[in-house]
Amino acid sequence: MSQSAKELTAESSPRATHYDRSVSGPFRPCALVPAYQSESTVGEVVVGLRQSVSRVLVVDDGSSDQTSAEAERAGAEVLRMSANLGKGAALRAGLARILSSDATHVAFVDA
């Protein structure tokens, strides 16, 4: 293996050696699902996620359909944006809520 290829391995990466392993206590993951006009898919996504994580937060980005209702029906916590502000804004809003909670990890999942 060439020297340049060795430099790209995880073992030699500065990030790999400086990984913050300070999370202590119980593992409390949360799935963050930004959704817009997703009434036909969001419920199934939430049901699938709840098989692996106990908390699912769906951020409804101003949908005019039944996205929020379907997400709630499937067992998700729902944060509803008053207008469609885009996926980035939905992710920021959801992440702000999650970071103010006791969640230790976040999984980003599309609806």
User: For residue 100, what pLDDT band results from cuts at 50, 70 and 90?
Assistant: very high
pLDDT at 18: 53
| pTM of this structure | 0.79
* pLDDT > 70 in the chain, percent: 78
Intra-chain end-to-end CA distance of the chain, in Å: 41
Nearest 5°: CA angle at 108, between 15 and 49? 125
For residues 18 and 100, the model is more confident at 100
Q: Any idea which residue has 């999650």 for tokens?
A: 98
Hey, which residues does 105 pair with through a beta bridge? 29
pLDDT at 25: 80
Q: How confident is the model over 21-66, as pLDDT tens digits?
A: 666 789 999 999 999 999 999 999 999 999 999 999 999 999 999 9
